[in-house]
Structures are given as structure tokens and as C-alpha cells.
Amino acid sequence: MAEAGVKTDEQEKQEETVNKNVISSGNTELDSRIGGGLPLGSLALIEGASGTGKSVLSQQIAYGALQQGLRVVMFTSENTVRSMVKQMDTIDMSVLDFLLIRRLRVYPVEFSQGGQDSSKYLLNALNAEENADLFILDSLSVVAGSITSSAILQFFEEAKQLCDQGKTIMVTLHPQAPALMEQLRSLCDANLVLETERDGQKLVKMLTVAKIRGASSVTGAIVGFDVEPGWGMRVIPISKARG
């Protein structure tokens, strides 16, 4: 019988198996609130308005994946390569070395130039990166604004097929038409919703775990967090009562 607080060999083996099957955010507190991490092979949707922390959350998970030895490809309409590196460095997530050894690739894109074909160009780019483990698309909002709802849905369906081949894809998106969002949420394996709410005298970023495949126990969990220079994402207690 194992002593209190001491893990048995079997428990350690089980944890190792779980750890190999999920992408850690690299933030222990955050991982504990989202069921241990993001399952590999997931299609994940991070939704929220501007300023709610979508980019920071996706960068945090990208950093965790890199720390695990995974290959990450980021398509961003929010940053250049230089500004991405600088931004992540200010929140204690240095990725320059990962860029230099090509474990991280960052592609700044102007989705608006593709018009109705934007989603097709993006899918072709995803398929071309055969060695990638995690794709981050930050943000798909511009694409969503230039193509039809059926084209957006088709893009997610084809992205899901890539996930069935073992790829993990994370998409950040501003809320769209309610009917479309309902379809996208249903299609995705993970759905994280970001908002800002007032907690006392200040605004706090809020993360709601709407869904994570294989982690039903954390569904509905609400996490308050802040982003601090030199520290990164910091989970904070929420005093606001919820009726």
C-alpha cells in the first residue's frame, strides 16, 4: 500500500499515458481547470470578442506544446513574426529558439486578400505542413466575414478530417451568427469561451470551458485570469457571485 501523497508505479504510468495524449498549456493551474490539457487530435474553438484574451490563450497552449516537443504552426492575422516573438517574450514565453530550429513556424497572413477563396487557401496551407502536430489559426474572424456560412462550416468539417489524422487544430474566432456558432460548437471537440466581466473595481478576463472531449468533469468550469508582463497568464480567484 502506497503512503499518503506517494504515487504508485501504476498511477505514474497512467499519468504518463494521459500526458502523452494531451497538450499541456505549460501552466499547471490552467491545466487543472481544463481537464489536464487539450486532447491531441482535437478541433478546438476559442471564441470571444476583441480584448478577451484569445491570442494570449492560443499562444500559451502553443508554448506548452513546444515545451512537450511538439511541432507548432501558427497562422496569424494579428501579428508579424517579430511582434509575435516580442509579445510572447514579454509574458515569459520565449519562442525564438523554437523558431530557429523550425519547431515553431509563424505565418503572418492577410486573410481578407483571399476573398471567397480564403478558406481554401488556408486548408491547402494546413495540408502542406505535413510534420506539424498543432495548428493555431488566430484569428479566423476576417475569413468568416468574407465567406458564406456554408463555406465556414465546410472549412471546419475539412479541418476535422485533418484532426482525425492526428493533427490538433485550434481556431480563434469572434462570435458569428447564433445558428452558425451552434453548428461549429457541435462539430468541435473543445470549445473555450472568453469574456471580460467586472469583478469589484476591475475588469477580469473569464474563460468558460464549454466543452472538452474526454473531460466532462470540467465542462462548465469558469476560470478568471489576468495577463501580467514577465509572468504570463495567471489564474485568479473570482469573487463575483453567480446566481
User: What is the phi/psi pair of residue 196, to 5°?
Assistant: -115, 135
pTM value > 0.85: yes
Q: Are strands 134-138 and 104-108 parallel, antiparallel or unpaired?
A: unpaired
The domain of 94 spans: 39-192
Ramachandran assignment for 165, one of left (phi > 0), alpha (psi -120 to 50 degrees), beta (any other): alpha
| Domain count along the chain | 1
Closest CA to 25 of 158, 185, 223, 188: 223
Q: Which of 154-168, 202-216, 225-239 has the highest mean pLDDT?
A: 154-168
For residue 226, tell me if it sits in a domain.
no
Residue 155 sits in a domain whose CATH number is 3.40.50.300
80 within some domain: yes
DSSP-derived secondary structure letter, 90: H
Give per-residue pLDDT as tens, 113-156.
667 788 899 999 999 999 999 999 999 998 888 889 999 999 99
pLDDT of residue 11: 40
The Cα 165–Cα 230 span in angstroms is 37
The Cβ-side half-sphere exposure at 155, using a 13 Å CA radius, reads: 27
Residue 56 in any domain: the answer is: yes
Predicted pLDDT of residue 114:
66
Question: Is 167 inside any structural domain?
Answer: yes
**Residue 59: inside a domain:** yes
Do 198 and 191 contact (CB within 8 A), yes or no? Answer: no
Model confidence at 56: pLDDT above 80: yes
**The pLDDT of residue 1 is above 60:** no
